[in-house]
Amino acid sequence: MQKIKEIDKSVYDAARARWKSIAKPLGSLGAFEETVSRIAVAQGTLKPDISKRRVLVMCADNGVTSEGVTQTDSSVTSLVAENITREMASVSLAARTARADVTAVDVGMERDAAGTLKRKIRYGTGNILRERAMTRADAEKAVQLGIDLAAESADEGYKILVAGEMGIGNTTTSAAVACVLLGKTPETAAGRGAGLSDEGLKRKIEVIEKSIRLHNPDKNDIIDVISKVGGLDIAAMTGVFIGGALRGLPVVIDGFISSVAALCAKRLCPKCGGYMTASHVSNEGCAKEILDALGLTAPIRAEMFPGEGTGGVMLLPLLDAAIEIFNEMPTFEDINLERYREYR
């Protein structure tokens, strides 16, 4: 992490100045102008390029599923993982349109899934209501796995990454981590996940509260938090955000679970925050508060919560359009038009 470079503020300032010079109403592309500027900074260029893009979907199971905090059992994790590899899942179909490559990574599923990239740390995590999710060593291995995958992606010529996940029960573990890091109550951090009844949500909140009380994770020790109440998918995505920063790759945050991993990464290594960009404001849990803590504004506000990296992928075609405008549109001087004045 010591090798990660601080972002070059001069590139950011130049990117913002470029936006103001383009012959269009000032600030008219809203959050897309900030997002493109962040990508330019991460890549260290005023000609940002996201032509080759990859979605890393970290697939892992969570023992807490046995506590009735989800609508389905853990068998769905491997089923969806296989659907991802067969281009039958939402992220795969969205990626086909967005021209993105999707890699489903088995970092900790209880059942093996055909077609996935096998990088399994262990077969699922412990039930956080009864025991810690994993050992500290396992959490460190999962973070390192994410770092390595980001490095491999850079070596293969990818220009931008999307951090996605698949794991039944991971909104529970993510909410637990968010509670610890942000000082939130389970009532404000937990959502309905893939679909919980009022009774199911009540049980989820109870499980999160009791699990945090049992393990008493240290909010200043991110690995301690992840290993006690988190998940292998969260740990691996944390590594992707760190690894992206290490190799100058912008990494797109998908939804709630991805944003929790991003927060873990930034708390571990503040410098990697400059290489992150948000895709959408998830409708799950305290997603907006997490983005606020990261200092990020998401361009998409559509009340989505599909997971898998789907929201991150749906951002890519919009970014294509914004980057084309940034790179190719003439300036006020080019067309001999007096610059707009900035009043806001």
Q: Could you give the residue numbers annotated as active site? A: 308
Q: How far apart are CA 31 and CA 301, in angstroms?
A: 11
At 163, which helix (H) or strand (E)? strand 160-166
The 8-class DSSP code of residue 22 comes to B
Q: What is the dihedral of CA 275, 248, 7, 15, to 10 degrees?
A: -80
Inter-residue contact 207 to 62 (CB < 8 Å): no
> What is the spatial distance between Cα 108 and Cα 233, in angstroms, rounded to a whole number?
8
Quickly tell me which residue has 């600030």 as its tokens. Answer: 27
Beta strands in 189-262 (DSSP E): 251-253
* Cα separation, 59 vs 308, whole angstroms: 9
Cβ contact 167:61 at 8 Å? yes
Alpha carbons 205 and 175: distance in angstroms, whole number:
9
Which of helix, strand or coil describes residue 62?
Answer: coil
Distance CA 8, CA 5 (A): 8
- Look at the alpha carbons of 310, 315, 318, 324 in this order and tell me if their dihedral is positive or negative: negative
User: Which residue is listed with tokens 């890091």?
Assistant: 181
Looking at the DSSP bridge assignments, the partners of residue 60 are: 108
User: Chain-centre distance of CA 23, in angstroms?
Assistant: 33
Up-side HSE of residue 312: CA atoms within 13 Å toward CB? 32
Torsion angles phi and psi, residue 22, rounded to 5? -70, 140
